[in-house]
Amino acid sequence: MINALHRAAVPRLGPELDPGFRPAYLWNRAFLRAVEESGQGVPFAVALERDGGQVSVYKTHLFPSGQKPEWDEANWLYVERLVKCLLWMRGGWKIIVGGSPELGERLRQAYGPGGVRAFDQEFMAGVYERPFTVEIVPYDEVPQPCEETEKVGGHFQGCRIGFDAGGSDRKVAAVKDGEVVFADETVWHPKLMEDPDYHFAGIMDSVKRAAEHLPRVDALGVSSAGIYINNRTMVASLFLKVPRDLFDAKVKDIYLRVAKELGDVPLVVRNDGDVTALAGAAALEDTRVLGIAMGTSEAAGYVDASGSLTGWLNELAFVPVDYNPEAMVDEWSGDYGCGVKYFSQDAVIKLAPSAGIELDPALTPAEKLSAVQKLLAEGHPGAERIFASIGRYLGYAAAHYADFYDIKHVLILGRVTSGRGGVLIQQGAAEVLKVEFPELAHIQFHLPGESDRRVGQAITAAGLAPLP
């Protein structure tokens, strides 16, 4: 049955350079159709509890357990991928499984020590600073949703600095009463450095240069890859090489220390994906915006129908978008088919050999991306196919994301979208929805101007912190 589901997931507009791509949305749709056609579907629910007692709930249907081996196999693949998706979209330190004790037990093993999802379990335990658990309950005992949203940003009075910490470059903007008076970007290599003093020095270099263009500094806003709670760094790939003891001592409060150096100014730190979504909502003067920044990794954020942030993790880099078991594995999480290999510089590098482009292995990933973008600007047909393929990826991923987010707009930006590549990505994604999923064709893909694609997050970040 798994093979039949994989065949049903062959895309009509698949990426030319990746014929093995099996979109999560098509696979899930084929599975749910098979469950419905069996006439024996049973209800199943997953709840995820995160900080502050907030709970997200997702309900669906499965084949009944223990009747056919092929049904059990299909159930497991669907549920395992679904839970992984929900965990990284919503966040949580506890998974509550209702409707299938058998699958609950398999999930408990998968998310236990030494299990296939041990990385996820350890990551979430670190984020929420609580032991990660899987609880199994009857379907009717799954808790009710308990969600809180928050209005954030849009504060541009006074003299402000916005800082955007990316994996390949750091960007900064000085804003005075809503006017950008200085913007700059600097190449750095945070993921390669073990000494957190390197990171602190780099951040301070950027913000001090911005401060030189202001009569004073009233507030600091930060857009930074990673997960932040109360302006503290819980987990972030920017500090990947920093030893745990130094992370706890010097990284968790790194932005608090920067704010103190600036005169103990008001500070707000947000994940760069959330800032992307806020920037999009402000520019579009609308809501229901999913922002996706394609750079060193895939960062994402979401502004709901009320114009608020949801408090979800939105770590789409770890969300599976490809169910091809032979898909490239993410080195950090050890899982296959996750967004980081489809919507970042890694995607460009991954597709280059199939496009007939040989990249110098001595180059950094950012330099490899720049090399491909240079070829694209020169009209190289292989480079065009790379960005067109990423556009196809995005169209199918957007359909998948729409199962979990109420989306009207998708804003795409980041270094990967610079130049003509961004246009090809935008066009490819829109074509997929128009042809393959006309019921989702109302979703619009937006590409900011070139300057906003590069420093727009820093500018938006400048407005995060309200003044006293």
CATH topology of domain 149-468: Nucleotidyltransferase; domain 5 (3.30.420)
| Rounded-to-integer distance, Cα 393 and Cα 401, Å | 12
Residue 350 has which token pair? 């991954």
| Count of other CB atoms within 10 angstroms of residue 1 | 16
Place of tokens 């929805």: 433
- Residue at 329: amino acid letter: V
pLDDT at 446: 93
CATH 3.30.420.40 residue spans of the chain: 149-468
- Residue pair 154/465 in contact (Cβ under 8 Å)? The answer is no
**Nearest CA-CA partner of 281 in 407, 108, 466, 124:** 407
Sheet holding 444-446: strands in order across? 298-303, 289-294, 409-413, 444-446
Decide: 225 and 236 in contact? Cβ < 8 Å.
yes
Quote the DSSP letter at residue 55: E
Q: What is the pLDDT of residue 468?
A: 87
Supply the pTM of this predicted model: 0.88
Distance from C-alpha of 1 to C-alpha of 442, rounded to nearest angstrom: 33
Rounded distance between C-alpha atoms, residue 308 and residue 327, angstroms: 35
Taking the CA atoms of residue 418, residue 458, residue 189 and residue 358 in that order, the dihedral angle to the nearest 10 degrees is: -10
Burial 57-96 (b: 16+ CB within 10 A, else e): bbebebbebeeeeebbebbbbbbbbbbbbbbbbbbbbbbb
User: Could you tell me which of 454, 344, 453, 441 has the C-alpha nearest to residue 390?
Assistant: 344
Q: If the chain, 468 residues long, is cut into consecutive pieces of 10 residues, what is the mean pLDDT of each piece?
A: 93 97 98 97 97 95 96 98 98 97 97 95 91 97 94 93 90 95 94 95 97 97 90 90 94 97 96 86 91 89 93 94 96 94 97 98 94 97 98 98 97 90 97 97 87 70 93
Name every residue whose Cβ is closer than 8 Å to that of residue 319 and which is 6 or more positions away in sequence: 84, 85, 88, 89, 338, 339
pLDDT at 464: 95
Strands 298-303 and 289-294: antiparallel
pLDDT at 226: 84
Q: Rounded to 5 degrees, what angle do the CA atoms 114, 120, 126 make?
A: 105
